[in-house]
Amino acid sequence: MPDLPLLASVKLEQVLVLGGFLFAIGLYLSLAKRNAIGILMGVELMLNAVNVTLIGFSRFVVSPRPLDGQVFAVFVITVAAAEAAVALALAVAVYKHRDTINIDEIDLLRW
Partner 1 sequence: MIEDTGIVVAFWVLALTTVGCAAMVAAVRELIQAVLFLALSFIGVAGIYIVLSADFVAVVQVLIYAGAIAVLMTFAVMLTPAADRKNSETTFAGPALVLAGLVLSVIVFVAYDTSWNISGRAAFPSTAASLGEAFLKPYVVPFEVASVLLLVAMVGAIVLTKEESADA
Candidates 41, 50, 107, 108; binder of partner 1 (CB under 8 A) is 41
- Contact between 70 and partner 1 by CB under 8 A: the answer reads yes
How far apart are the C-alpha atoms of 93 and 97, rounded to whole Å?
Answer: 7
- Report 11-30 residues binding partner 1 (CB under 8 A): 11-29
Candidates 3, 5, 50, 83; binder of partner 1 (CB under 8 A) is 83
- Contact between 33 and partner 1 by CB under 8 A: the answer reads yes
- In the chain, the amino acid numbered 38 is G
Q: What number of chain residues touch partner 1 (CB under 8 A)? A: 77
Candidates 2, 68, 108, 109; binder of partner 1 (CB under 8 A) is 68
Query: If you ran DSSP here, which 8-state letter would residue 35 be given?
Result: B
What are φ and ψ of residue 35, in 5° steps?
A: -85, 135
* Contact in structure between 62 and 44 (CB atoms under 8 Å): no
C-alpha distance from residue 9 to each of 16, 20, 40, 57 (Å):
14, 19, 34, 16
Query: If you ran DSSP here, which 8-state letter would residue 102 be given?
Result: B
CB of 39 to partner 1, least distance (A): 10
Candidates 2, 3, 7, 111; binder of partner 1 (CB under 8 A) is 7
